[in-house]
Amino acid sequence: MDYAATGQDALSRIEGAGDLDTLEALRVEFLGKQGSISGLLKTLGKMTPDERKEEGPRIHALRESVTGAIAARKDALESAALEARLAAETIDLSLPAPETPRGSVHPISQVMDELAEVFADLGFAVATGPEIEDDWHNFTALNMPETHPARAMHDTFYFPDRDEKGREMLLRTHTSPVQIRSMIEKGAPIRIIAPGRVYRSDSDATHTPMFHQVEGLVIDKGIHLGHLKWTLETFLKAYFERDDIVLRLRPSYFPFTEPSVEVDVGYSQENGRRVVGGSGDAPGHAWMEVLGSGMVNRRVIEAAGLDPDEWQGFAFGTGVDRLAMLKYGMDDLRAFFDGDVRWLSHYGFSAMDVPTLSGGVGTPA
């Protein structure tokens, strides 16, 4: 039998199918269970072997070509449908985009990043440690034995229970224990800053029971006050982004440093805002304390397991919250921790505003 006519007819009807439904109907008509080509295949069973040898390949070839034609037509119809949809569905790029709520970086986080950046350039690594401390790391190792009056001055939050080793536990009152732990773990030489939360039972307009501190520590050979002075001057100039920062070092007392030095910077008042810069002795200027520091007390070096005749160093500490207020002009510390989004959207920073040394650090959002 000659299937050419059947084939021609099927192929031209498939080619002429105008939509997917019509094509599906044709597929059922030719290839479905009751389909015409399926019917031809069934006739093979009733043929003699010779007939089957003759007809089999022809019927199968017919089925192949119809199957292929249906698939090709299906592809063509589907891409035509997609083309039509793409042509019909235009996007109006002038429509306003839906508003995306966007958070901002808290000034304290921003300032901590800036401090890490400035000190990284001076070769300091960032060290962190637990906020729940034992009293040895928070006090004893820092030359504040049990009866030391400075312990009372710290307004410490103590936990009611001791730890499993019987040690009194507390919320760290400064980040110094981080430096003690770093010295014990890493030894000397060492150059680190320790930024983080600290806690004191104190609450008024200028004090919150939780605040942020950054301390710095350098331990090496032959370290002296000149290194301390240069480092703090370089840090303050980079942080405040001004070359006219003038420092005044005043003798002071901390149990963990000897000698101890308080660092003031000159400032003036502009539109009711403190602006750091110039000598505090210049007309219209005054001095303001920004840092406590000193040469690390040899007893502290010893407590950290190092030989104070071999290793010396300096340390310093300052309040991150106050540094942020001074640089970015906030006047109420308590607003830092109120979580008011209006305050944050005013004083917060863009998450993309990564501090860099070449581009300056910190531009308010």
Site residues, ligand 2NL (CB under 6 A): 176, 179-180, 213, 215, 217, 254, 256-257, 292-294, 296, 300, 315-319
| 3-state class percentages of the chain: helix first, strand second, coil last, to nearest 5 | 45, 20, 35
**DSSP conformation class of 95:** S
The CA dihedral of 149, 154, 155, 159, to the nearest 10 degrees, is -100
> In degrees rounded to 5, what are phi and psi of residue 102?
-125, 130
- Output the smallest distance, CB 238 to ligand 2NL, in A: 19
- Output the smallest distance, CB 148 to ligand 2NL, in A: 14
- Output the smallest distance, CB 270 to ligand 2NL, in A: 26
The pair of three-digit structure tokens given for residue 200, joined into one six-digit string: 């004191």
Nearer to ligand 2NL, 110 or 293 (CB): 293
Q: Does 89 show up as a binding residue in the annotation? A: no
- Output the smallest distance, CB 115 to ligand 2NL, in A: 13
Nearer to ligand 2NL, 317 or 355 (CB): 317
Could you tell me how many residues make up the chain?
365
Angle at 291 (CA atoms; ends 125, 271), nearest 5 degrees: 115
Nearest Cα to 6, choosing from 63, 71, 67?
63
**Terminal C-alpha separation, the chain:** 84
Continuous segment of H or E residues that includes residue 11: helix 4-16
Nearer to ligand 2NL, 195 or 348 (CB): 195
- Compute the distance between CA of residue 237 and CA of residue 231 in angstroms, rounded to an integer: 10
- Output the smallest distance, CB 260 to ligand 2NL, in A: 6
Contact 310/290 with Cβ under 8 angstroms?
A: no
- Output the smallest distance, CB 235 to ligand 2NL, in A: 14
- Compute the distance between CA of residue 104 and CA of residue 351 in angstroms, rounded to an integer: 6
**DSSP conformation class of 147:** T
Nearer to ligand 2NL, 24 or 289 (CB): 289
Nearer to ligand 2NL, 58 or 148 (CB): 148
Contact 138/172 with Cβ under 8 angstroms?
A: yes
Nearer to ligand 2NL, 118 or 194 (CB): 194
Residue stretches of the annotated binding site for Mg(2+): 258
